[in-house]
Structure 1
C-alpha cells in the first residue's frame, strides 16, 4: 500500500495523510458498487497490499489482477448457485402443477 500512497503523493501532490484517506475512500466506493458477497474480497485485497518484510512485493497491477480473478471466481460460484436455485424452483413448480392435474 505504501507504493500506492507514494504514487498518490508524487502524481497528485497529496500529503501522506491525504493519500491514505484517498485509498480508504476508493476502497469504500468499490465495496459499495459490488454485491455484498464480493465486498469482503475488497477488504482482503487492500489488507494484503501492505508491505510485509521478506515477501516478494507485487506491483499494483499484479494485485489488481489477483483481485479481479478472485471476483471472477466468486461471481462464477454465485452464477452456479443461481442456476441451481432456478432449477430447484422449476422442479418445484413442475411438481405443483403435476399434482394439480392429477387431482382434477
Structure 2
C-alpha cells in the first residue's frame, strides 16, 4: 500500500493524506458495489507485513513488484477462476481511472493557482 501511496503522491502531486483518502474511497466504492468481495478488497489494500514479497503478500500490496511484474497482475493467480480475473480487471480499471482523475484534478488545481499545466 505504501508504494501505491507514494506513486499517487508523485504522479498526481497530492499529499499522502489525500492519497490515503482517495484509496479509502475507492476501497469503499468497490466493497459497496461488490459486497461479497469486501474481505478480498481489504486484503488487497492492506500494508504488507515485510519488505519481502511472496505470493501471499502479493494480495496485501497489489502494487508491490514481483519477479514477473506487479501483484495487480497476479490477483487472478491467487483468487482462482473467473472471479479472480474479474477482480484483477476491476482493480486495474480502478487504478487507471484514479490516475486519470488525479491527473485531471492536478491540472485544474494547478490552473487555479496559475501553475503550469502539463
With the length of structure 2 as denominator, give the TM-score of the two structures.
Answer: 0.48
> Which residue in the other structure is 2:6 paired with?
6
Q: CA deviation at 1:74?
A: 7.4
Q: Assess, with a 3 A threshold, how the Cα gap between structure 1 residues 28 and 67 changes in structure 2: closer, same or farther.
A: farther
Larger Rg: 1
Higher helix share: 1
Give the corresponding residue for 2:72.
64
The 3 A distance-change label for structure 1 pair 41 and 74 is farther
- Which structure 2 segments of 5+ residues have no match? 55-63, 85-118
What is the root-mean-square deviation of aligned Cα atoms in Å? 2.9
Aligned residue pairs: how many? 73
Matched position secondary structure for 2:70:
helix
Unaligned runs of 5+ in 1: 77-104
Hey, what's the Cα distance between the residues in 2 that align with 1:23 and 1:45?
11
Tell me the TM-score normalised to structure 1 length. Answer: 0.53
> Which structure's relative contact order is higher, taking Cα pairs within 8 Å and 6+ residues apart?
1
